[in-house]
Every structure is written in structure tokens, then in C-alpha cells.
Structure 1
Amino acid sequence: MGLAEQVGDWVREREAELLAELAAWLAQPSVSRTGEGMADAVAHGVELLRRAGLTPEVVETGGWPALVGTAPGPPGAPHVLVYGHYDVQPAGPLDEWDSPPFEPTFRDGRVYGRGAGDNKGQHLAQLLGLRALREVTGGLPCRVTVLLDGEEEIGSPHLANALRALPKPDLVVWSDGPVHESGRASVVLGVRGIATFELRVRGASGPLHSGNWGGVAPNPAWRLVHVLAGMRDARGRVLVDGFADDVVPLSPGERAALAALPADVPEVLAGIGVSGMEPPADLGFYERLTGPTFSINSLTCEDGGEHRTVIPHVAVAKCDMRLVGGQRVETVFAAIREHLARHAPDVELTPGGAMEPSRTLPETRWTDAVLRGAAAGLGEEPLLVPALGGSLPIAAFSDELGVPCYGVPLANVDERNHAPNENLALDWFRRGVVAAATVQQAIAAVGR
């Protein structure tokens, strides 16, 4: 009997116990944005690390602590760092939840509760996979470090501080976000970064009657629209000099992986109520998710949503730029400042939250092993995804430590992370425990 079958039996024999453990973890609030439940969550998380057979440590970072668990492996075995985060989003509108967010409820093959998919259910599957390896085989095939971040939902501002206290691993495995939108299992090689900012244009000291002052008083809303049009043209090209100068072209392996990803573009677009994609027209669906972007998130004149025939006295645009391999947040912000200084010195720039992009090439040594291990544990061949469209703090590992990073998502497509009725399909949880074990085994085989 292979390891996948053995661990699968282990999960089935202990299912009631494992689901109770999942429910108890979800019932513990851990909202980093407000601090709700964080101290108790630290103690709970430390116990989970201990039960996985790891030596736990609470690492102070200058913010909410990181939880670290370590275990030695056989001599010469690869060192795998498993990353997850124990903090969760605030509950949001309680009247939009079908059951209380911190009272986990099992129904229709899923568990509902804040943190179910993002990220407690996924990193608990990783921890249970380590526990299963110990009980089924007598030990771990790799040296293991587990790092549970306490600040991922607020941008992981102190994650680098936690990493300085850890030895460098050979690779990182993380489980976050949903599987591929087709419902297929996937292995993810990178994430886009993000730079958020606000542009503000001021006019008169207060709103003015548009009849009495129209054509006389400057209109900051028109000024802001023209400034934005000077930053991205109608064909989708970002016109900020230096913004994309450092983008690294896709490798042959990345292009091959993108070409193999399934996409029914008309169906996808119909699902969001549109008939066409953003310009430029010559880019494929997945190629767009591996390139940099400039998005306007909102436009307002700070009028409280009222419509009045006035010339507003202020106009504000909140924006983000998604970044890809080679780009750096500092360089992007410098390019925006230079663009505004040259073309619109009256516009106020306020930088916001930011996160660097991360990139691991398909040609990297560990890729085939992670794919084999994930396939064995999940029971299907995973798709190889060069980059998620969204952002995660994986650059802290790929850039700061200089090691390859592999995402093995273990949550259903409709997990509703960050939204009311967040959930995790129990089938993905069970299979995730098995995959956590088989990925470790496959990595160890490469290291010998």
C-alpha cells in the first residue's frame, strides 16, 4: 500500500477527531486588523504545532507574533518551510452570514466560518499531514519548519523580521487561495505584487454652484480624469515611464504552462456579465494575469454620494498597480512620482499598502517533485499555474531568502474568502491532509 492510501486510511479512521480539531480552530477568533482573539489564537496555534510533532516557538516580530514549529529530518534531507497564516479577516456584516462566523457549522459537505479556507483549514491540513507521516511511517522524510504568519491579512509588514530568526530552507510550500477556477487541483509558481496609492486634486475652498462658477472655477474632477488618462491610454498601455522597465519576460516553461491552462473565455466573461476583455486585444486570458496592470479602484468627489449641480472642490482616485517578476515596489512608486512631477505637479500622491511580486520558474529543480506529490495526494494531475492574479507575501521567501516557492491550494473555488459565509469543502480538506504528506515524500526523494 502506498503512502497516499495509508494516509487516506489514517484520515478516514480519525475523521470525527480531525473535523473537531478544525472546528475548534475556526471557533477561535484571530482578527489581526482589530486584535480580536489574537492572544488566545497564539496559544491555540502553538498547541497545534506541538500536536504535529513540531517544537513550537512564538517569534516576536514587532507586530503580531509569528508561530514557528520545527522538526529535524534524516541526515541530508531537504529542508522544507511550510507557510500559512493564522490571522483572519474581520467577520463583516453579521446579517449576511447564514451562521455565526466564529461558530463553525458543518452542512452540505462543507464547514462554514471565518478562516475556513483562508487560511486555517489549509494550514491545518498541512499540519495534519505531518502528524500522519509520523504516525504512519514513524517520522518525517524532510527537515521541516512551519511558519504561521499573524499579519497576512494586514499585508505581513513584519514577516521579514520573523524570517531573520530562521535557518534558510531549500524550498517553501504554501497552501492559500482556491484551486484553479475550473475546479482542478493546481500548483502555483508565483504571485503578482501590488502597489496601492491615492491621487488627490484640490480646487476651490469648497463646492461651488456650477451655474455661477462654471467656466470660471477650476474643476478638480476634470483635472483628475485628464491626469489618469495620461497614465494609461485607451489601448491599455501604462504611460508612466519606468513602470515596466524591469519586467522579466516569461520563460519557455512559463509560456508552455500558460498554454496548457483551460479557459472558456466567453463563459468566464458571461459569468461576470461582460462580453469582452480589457485592451490590448492580442493577449490571452492567462497571459493577462502574468503581466503588470494599472487599475482605478474608485473615483469620488467626497460628496457623500449626493448629486448636486456643483463644481466639486476635491477629486480623489484610489488606484492599484499589480506587479510581476522583476518589478519592485520602490521603483514603481518612484516612477509614479516622477511622472506626476513632470506632468501634474499639482496632484497629491499618497502611497498605500504594497507587496512585492514573487516568481519561481517551472524549470526549477523541485517543480516536478511538487507536482508528483500533489497528484498522488489529491488524486488528480494538477495544473501548473505560473502566477496567481492576486497578491500574497511570498516574495519574503523567494526574494529575501532566495529560494523557490510552491503553492498547493487546498480550498474550493467558491470558498468565499474575505466574504460572508466563507467555507471549505471537506473533500478538499481530507485530500489536502494526504497531499501534505505525499508532497513531503516526493521532495525527500529528490534530495536523496
Structure 2
Amino acid sequence: MQLQDVRDYVQAHRAAHQRELADWIAVGGVSATGEAMPAATATEHARQLLESCGLRADVVPTDGHPLVVGHRRADVAAGGTRAGDPAAVPTVVVYGHYDVQPAGPAHAWSSPPFTATVRDGRVFGRGTGDNKGQHLAQLLAIRALAATGGLPCNVVMVLDGEEEIGSPHLQQTLARLRREDDLLAGADLAVWSDGPVHESGAPTVVLGARGIVSFEIVVPGANSELHSGNWGGIAPNPAWELVWLLASMRAPDGSITVPGLVESPAPITQAESAAAQGLPFDLPELLAGAGLNRTDRPDADLPLAALRPTFSINSLTCDDGGDHRTVIPSVAKAKCDIRMVAGQRADDVLAAVRHQVAQQLPHAEVITDRGMMQPYRVRPDAPYVAVIADAMAAAHPGQQVLVTPTLGGSLPVAELAAGLGLDCYGIPLANADERNHAPDENLELHRFHDGIVACAAVLRGIAAAGSAPAPVPEPAK
């Protein structure tokens, strides 16, 4: 089977594939609210999609929204063995998620959020890029391979119903399935498609994602707002206390100053640094596109930014309802997040924040009410990196394939890796301006169709490499 056969198949089925994507977008499936998440809607549609691509599909209960898991063994006709050894047929776990973000305000959308609308070469709708279009491309690649010579490797497809709320049950559910499922227990690697390609638009292989812990710091004051003249200089101002507290946690140069937090990241290896430094990086263009004339850390090595932890203040409020009265507020709040890198753990990071708050402002409270995701990176010299990069190059002739050590954002890749006991590799398919989580989320149609070919090429490349590809040699010192 040649890759051109898959290209021809995808070209012949473009209209049908777009209809399947449109039908999938129309289902919705908002995990944060439970909208369209019962088995009769998003979960069942996901199961039917897997079956339509030739997988044996099951709905796997969790303590929250279920997983949908599908199995398909390699086709004998595919010749997906090495030297005729059936044991060399690898098993690939493919991860995606079928839940989506809430639509947000309808007036901010140019077209209805749960109606797939095509304009200017893009399909708009909630879930187009995050993540229905991407995992549908993976599924359609399985179908295309089966129709053009046979599936060359074993595949286990995992669709998560809780990614948008932090995948709180993914790791434990996968660990349980692995004990019960022979095919999953013998898997060789996991591949995920989520997030955008590199800003340059080049095909991208991603080796990890930053983790995240979100929290709110609440500083109480008096039992009601106080007149700023009558009480000024007498009553403590929780807003000033909060500002001083936050200033103790991050320096003006952008460095984090929370003891116990910055000491924990794993060192950036020479290979990771080289990979990050080798990515296209046009700082003036990047800043201009965001309407900025300065960076957060002027003296930092910016190409390595995603390999370092960050501390962000998401919002500050005194709950004044926008009145801006001349009062001393009764409460001040900061919503924050810390993006973690490999070597850090969410529990440890949160403990360091709580200790800093307790030391600096004992009457303040740290509240966590959202899920956490751990950070993850696989080594740039891991054997399947070269296999997947070569397959992506075959799917995108004439284009440079970029290998990036990590996404700046967060995905449950660490939970996936821990639950399966496998290395995980990313092949994002969405455009850099997909506007995931925002109004007018979209996916460029050529990326959807080309993504099917790319996913097929990756499965073929892994099959050709077998269960134990040769390790990448150490670079000369």
C-alpha cells in the first residue's frame, strides 16, 4: 500500500468526511455543565463513530463522564509485521477527547456554535479544532488504511469525556483497563492529536505539555466596605495586602520567587534546548500580532519559555460590581494559575503556594476548585520521535517537520502516560489560530483532510518500525 492510495481515498471522500464532522459538531457535549453528555448523546455518538471506522467500541464508566474505547487489530493483508514475526506488530493507543468547552455568549459567534459552518476555507463551530476534528481525522485514517490495503498495526482508540475539566478520572480508569485488556496491556506507545501546530503553520511533532494548577487567593477585610476617608489609615485594605502578597511570589524580571517551587523543574537537556532553539521564532512578528511592544521577561531566552514554569494572575477583583466607590473593600481576590514543567508535581506546587501565603499573609486563603494536570515530556531522542517525524515528512512533502519539546498549554498527557505506562507523542493537526475555547473556534479544512493522511502515515511508519525501533544514537560530544 502506498500513501498515495490514502490520499486518493481521502480526496474521493472529502464531502462525506466533512458531513461526519458537521454531524459530530452538532451533538455538542459540554463536560463542565453535563449538556449533551448522557449516553444517548455525545457518548453514544462517539461510540458509533468508532464502530463506523471498524473498531469494536465500548463505553467505559468512570466516576464522572465515561471513556469511549475502541479496539482494532492489524489486518493480515496489511503485512504489518517485521520479518514475518507477528509479535513485531506494534499496538498504538490513540487519544482524543469528545467533550467540548461551553459555547460562551452566542452574540460573540459569527455563526451558531453547534452548527458547523464553512467559510473562507475553514469550518467553524465548538469542537472543530478542540478536539472533534482532530480525533475524527485519526479515526478516518484507520478507515482509510483499512480500505486501501489494510490496517498495518493494532490500534486502541481512547476518547476522554472529561478533558475540558482536567481529566480527573483518566489515569485511574486507564490503569484499571490495562490490567483487564490484553491489547492495551501490550501497547507500545500512545499518540495524541490536540492543540495547534507551530505558529509558522509547519507540520509539528510535540513531545509534551506543561501541567497546570489553578487557584484563587482570597484576602478578607472588614465585614462590609468601609468609607475610605473615615477608615483610611485605620482599617487594613485587603487589596493592598493582596498586591503585596502577589509581589512576594514573582519578581519584576518575571522569575518566580516562591520557595520550593522553582527548584523542582527537571533540567532542560541539551537535546531539548537544541530542539526548542531550532524552531522558527520571529519575536517582532509575534509581539505585533498580539498588539504588544514588550515581553514578560526581557532578559530571558524566549525560545525556551515553554520549558520553564510560569505564574500568571488571571484576574483581580474586590467584588465591587464595577462601581469603583471610594471605599476600603471588604475582600480582595486573585485568580491565578501556575504552568508546570517536567519534574514538578501539582500537589508540591500547590503546597509551596500555600506555605508562601501562610508565611506572608496568614489570614489569606488559597482555594482550589478546578482540576489539575501534571506536566509531561518525552525525550527528543526517544526511538519513536524519528519514526513519527519521518512519517509526518512523508505526509507533507516539501515541508519541514518541526519537533518541539512541549506545548505551552496543558493537556492530560502525563495522566495518559501514567495510566498506560507508555511514552506519548503528539501530532497536532489544528491551525495555530484555531481559537479553541473562544468564540468562532475553527479548523482549516485542508488541515482536517491532510490530517487524515498524516495520521495514516504515522500508523504506517510505526508499523514499519515494529514494536522495538532502533534507539536514536547519542550525539557526538
Q: TM-score, normalised by structure 1?
A: 0.96
Task: Pick which of 19-28 and 81-90 moved more.
Answer: 19-28
Query: In 2, distance between residues paired with 1:67 and 1:440?
Result: 20
1:145: which partner in 2? 156
SS in 1 for 2:352: helix
CA drift of 1:242 comes to 0.7
Task: Pick which of 191-200 and 72-81 moved more.
Answer: 72-81
For residues 4-403 of structure 1, the aligned pairs below 5 Å read: 4-39=3-38, 40-73=41-74, 75-76=86-87, 77-138=89-150, 140-163=151-174, 164-166=176-178, 167-168=184-185, 169-279=187-297, 281-353=298-370, 354-379=372-397, 380-403=399-422
CA drift of 1:365 comes to 1.1
Letter paired with 1:160: Q
SS in 1 for 2:224: coil
Letter paired with 1:162: T
**Is residue 333–residue 351 contact of structure 1 (8 Å, CA) maintained in 2?**
no
Query: In 2, distance between residues paired with 1:401 and 1:299?
Result: 39
**Is residue 176–residue 409 contact of structure 1 (8 Å, CA) maintained in 2?**
yes
- CA deviations on 1:324-379 (whole Å, 9 max, x unpaired) are 00000011111112222222212111124311001111111110001011121233
CA drift of 1:285 comes to 2.1
CA drift of 1:394 comes to 0.6
Query: In 1, distance between residues paired with 2:302 and 2:262?
Result: 20
Query: In 2, distance between residues paired with 1:289 and 1:66?
Result: 30
CA drift of 1:217 comes to 0.9
2:473: which partner in 1? none
> What fraction of aligned residue pairs are identical, expressed as a percent?
53
**Is residue 170–residue 419 contact of structure 2 (8 Å, CA) maintained in 1?**
no
Query: In 2, distance between residues paired with 1:111 and 1:337?
Result: 44
Letter paired with 1:436: C
**Is residue 378–residue 432 contact of structure 1 (8 Å, CA) maintained in 2?**
no
- CA deviations on 1:296-348 (whole Å, 9 max, x unpaired) are 11111111111111111111111111100000001111111222222221211
Task: Pick which of 318-327 and 379-388 moved more.
Answer: 379-388
2:436: which partner in 1? 417
Letter paired with 1:8: R
Query: In 2, distance between residues paired with 1:352 and 1:273?
Result: 32
**Is residue 248–residue 326 contact of structure 1 (8 Å, CA) maintained in 2?**
yes
Query: In 1, distance between residues paired with 2:369 and 2:28?
Result: 27
CA drift of 1:246 comes to 2.0
**RMSD, aligned CA:** 1.4
SS in 2 for 1:187: strand
Query: In 1, distance between residues paired with 2:261 and 2:392?
Result: 36
Task: Pick which of 194-203 and 165-174 moved more.
Answer: 165-174
SS in 2 for 1:303: coil
**Is residue 360–residue 405 contact of structure 1 (8 Å, CA) maintained in 2?**
yes
**Is residue 195–residue 352 contact of structure 1 (8 Å, CA) maintained in 2?**
no
**Is residue 171–residue 418 contact of structure 2 (8 Å, CA) maintained in 1?**
no
Structure 1 runs (4+) greater than 3 angstroms displaced? 399-402
Query: In 2, distance between residues paired with 1:171 and 1:220?
Result: 50
Query: In 2, distance between residues paired with 1:432 and 1:441?
Result: 14
Query: In 2, distance between residues paired with 1:372 and 1:294?
Result: 36
Query: In 2, distance between residues paired with 1:443 and 1:287?
Result: 29
Count of residue pairs brought into register by the alignment: 445
CA drift of 1:431 comes to 0.6
**Is residue 6–residue 453 contact of structure 2 (8 Å, CA) maintained in 1?**
yes
**Is residue 241–residue 339 contact of structure 1 (8 Å, CA) maintained in 2?**
yes
Query: In 1, distance between residues paired with 2:264 and 2:361?
Result: 24
**Is residue 219–residue 242 contact of structure 2 (8 Å, CA) maintained in 1?**
yes
- CA deviations on 1:255-276 (whole Å, 9 max, x unpaired) are 1111111111011112212212
The gaps in structure 1 that reach 5 residues or longer are none
Query: In 2, distance between residues paired with 1:318 and 1:35?
Result: 24
Query: In 1, distance between residues paired with 2:167 and 2:292?
Result: 34
**Is residue 3–residue 438 contact of structure 1 (8 Å, CA) maintained in 2?**
no
CA drift of 1:245 comes to 2.2
CA drift of 1:106 comes to 1.9
2:452: which partner in 1? 433
- CA deviations on 1:45-70 (whole Å, 9 max, x unpaired) are 11111121111010001111110001
CA drift of 1:214 comes to 0.6
Query: In 1, distance between residues paired with 2:32 and 2:318?
Result: 28
Query: In 2, distance between residues paired with 1:330 and 1:65?
Result: 25
CA drift of 1:108 comes to 2.2
CA drift of 1:287 comes to 0.7
Letter paired with 1:184: A
